[in-house]
Amino acid sequence: MRYYDLPSNPCRAAGSMGKKDADNMEIWTLDDFNKFITFVSKPAAHLALEILFWTGIRSGELLALTPADILPDKRIDICKSLARLDGKDFISEPKTAKSNRIIPIPDFLYDEIHNYINRVGGMEKTDKIFYFSKGFLNKEIKRLSAKAGVKEIRVHDLRHSHASLLIEMGYNILLISERLGHEKVETTLNTYGHLYPNKHKQLADDLQDLR
């Protein structure tokens, strides 16, 4: 409208993104995930699902990972993303500028990643760690969730599960936003703000303890 004299804003007509999905957000608790992951017998799928749950990275970021992205100081360099179009894979820059980030990972996950790479053998620094699609992971969740006795969720819901876990652990919203690679902290608040009500009561209790 400002630069091309458009009569109206098509983005306004389309409405906001995120809020509707946030209302329908499904998550696994840590207990749910621990029940589920014991049923995943395929090593590549097991590792991929572990990474998604314990880091909160996007599936495209996961599928673009190479051994070079697993840094010696136990961090993952999220510097690219994979998308599939007409059956072909394309590697591009992450979704936004803030999506280009380096995130610390726990020791056990770092060890699991390196153990898997070593077991595969012959993997070059620039080779993709995973060669399946997001659809494969969705099928694994669909296939095994009933056996594990947990509700079926989407691959993307593992990202929500990670954020919810961090909120439950008491980490502040800015840190969570940076870890998820959101461009603005408002995005994190709009998506996960409804998970915070119990934290307000906890805050009041903590102030009571201080007094």
Q: Which of the residues are catalytic?
A: 58, 95, 156, 159, 182, 192
Output the CA angle 102-155-46, nearest 5 degrees.
75
Task: Kindly report the number of other CB atoms within 10 A of residue 98's CB atom.
Answer: 16
- Looking from the CA of 3 toward its CB, the CA atoms found within 13 Å total 0
How far apart CA 21 and CA 192 sit, in angstroms, is: 11
CA of residue 144 relative to chain centroid, distance: 20
- Classify residue 15 as left (phi > 0), alpha (psi -120 to 50) or beta: left
